[in-house]
A and B are shown apart, each in its own frame.
Chain A
Amino acid sequence: EVQLVESGGGLVQPGGSLRLSCAASGFTFSSYEMNWVRQAPGKGLEWVSYISSSGSTIYYADSVKGRFTISRDNAKNSLYLQMNSLRAEDTAVYYCARVEEAVTMYYWGQGTLVTVSS
């Protein structure tokens, strides 16, 4: 059974940093692209970042470019999102999703809540 479990969310002050993790199981992690997608409270879905199966190709939304870094460790079946210089508008539930062809997200985690507030 495919499982994606996010962790690392919490309350952080503006300007602070947080590292999210996504533990994958039930499939060959190294064969799949991955996305981070977020959803602010009461708002719609927003794509955050994409990483190819090998990690060689990475994309970011303009809203996080230069502040967030996506990475993966295929040996540990894990996906990461390093978030720096956090702003109030980064407050959201962050989902990791297994991807095919960039936008076909068959499997999603349950999400982890990041709250940026003083």
Chain B
Amino acid sequence: QSALTQPASVSGSPGQSITISCTGTSSDVGSYNLVSWYQQHPGKAPKLMIYEVSKRPSGVSNRFSGSKSGNTASLTISGLQAEDEADYYCCSYAGSDVVFGGGTKLTVL
């Protein structure tokens, strides 16, 4: 049950696009299209942003998109806005386990 690997931090200016990677193994990300992404603001509960690799829940901006290639999933945020500044976590099914990434702090400059 090793955590998925995410960059500790990423940053971008308003209007720019950023991508957060999430690297797992052939036992988790690589084997299942069950990857989700969560946004968490300080002191708040996580919020689902992407599920099943690339699906967006209703109410989530289409500026958020997800993809996967091999053992690596990615979250892309386009047209960065100040309110996007938060921590982001990926999560993958891994058979009889669920594994999160270590989290990425997004700073909007």
Q: Tell whether, in the assembled complex, residue A45 and residue B98 are in contact, meaning their CB atoms are under 8 Å apart.
A: no
Q: Across the interface, do B1 and A104 meet the contact criterion of CB distance under 8 Å?
A: no
Which residue of the partner chain, among B40, B99, B103, contacts A47 with CB atoms under 8 Å? Answer: B99
Complex CA distance for A100 and B57, rounded to whole angstroms: 12
A62 within 8 A of B: yes
A68 an interface residue at 8 Å Cβ cutoff?
no
Contact of A45 with B89 at beta-carbon distance under 8 Å, contacts A101-B52, A103-B35 already known: yes
Number of A-B contacts (CB under 8 A): 67
| B-side interface residues, number (CB < 8 Å) | 27
The contact size tier of chain A is 20 to 34
Interface string of B20-42 (1 = CB under 8 A from A): 00000000000000111010100
Could you tell me if A109 and B93 are in contact, using CB atoms closer than 8 angstroms? no
By the criterion CB–CB under 8 Å, are A105 and B101 in contact? Answer: no
Contact across chains for B51 and A104 when beta carbons are under 8 A apart: yes
